[in-house]
Amino acid sequence: MKLYLDMDGVLVDFRKQAEKYHLYIGEEGINWLLVMLIGKKFWTSMEWLDGAQDAYSELNNFCKSSGHELHILSSVRLKSGKKGKTEWISEHTNIPEENITIVRRSRFKNAFAKGDALLIDDRAKNVEAFSNAGGNSLLFRGWSRKFVGEIKKILERK
């Protein structure tokens, strides 16, 4: 089975990074022009989300020992974002390049929705769309022993 982890809001603290650079416009809007001007550095300097580093390590070890594949499936429209995210993944994980997929829009994640795929994502619409397209998915709700255990149970059943 393939375990797909989203990056922003699952592995890295996108919100904290956006606040650091004062990127919020209104309620939830992001100043993407400023993100573009900051460039690759915006993405490469992100911090792990609370608990994500330990959860990643545990899931990575579990996948290796049980024959599952760990992947990153993230989205960003900016070229600097794709480069920055890929660099961050290479520096902070041991996920091989062929297991890193950065799509331009989150709806393109559905192309990877198969019966042997599990997506962990922080956006309900992505989770629902992935499941509707034939994949398995879980809405990310924070890293805890219980949540990691839930992921492992799904992987063990497949």
Task: Give the pLDDT confidence of 88-143 residue by residue, as tens digits.
Answer: 999 999 999 999 999 999 999 999 999 999 999 999 999 999 999 999 999 999 99
Fold of 2-157: Rossmann fold (3.40.50)
Q: What pLDDT does residue 25 have?
A: 81
Q: How far is CA 40 from CA 51, 80, 82, 130, in A?
A: 24, 5, 8, 28
Q: Of 28-42, 62-76, 131-145, which gets the smallest average pLDDT?
A: 28-42
Total-model pTM: 0.94
**Strands 29-30 vs 24-25: parallel, antiparallel or unpaired:** antiparallel
Whole-angstrom distance, CA of residue 42 vs CA of residue 18: 9
**pLDDT category of residue 27 using cuts at 50, 70 and 90:** confident
C-alpha torsion angle, residues 133, 117, 143, 19 (rounded to 10): -60
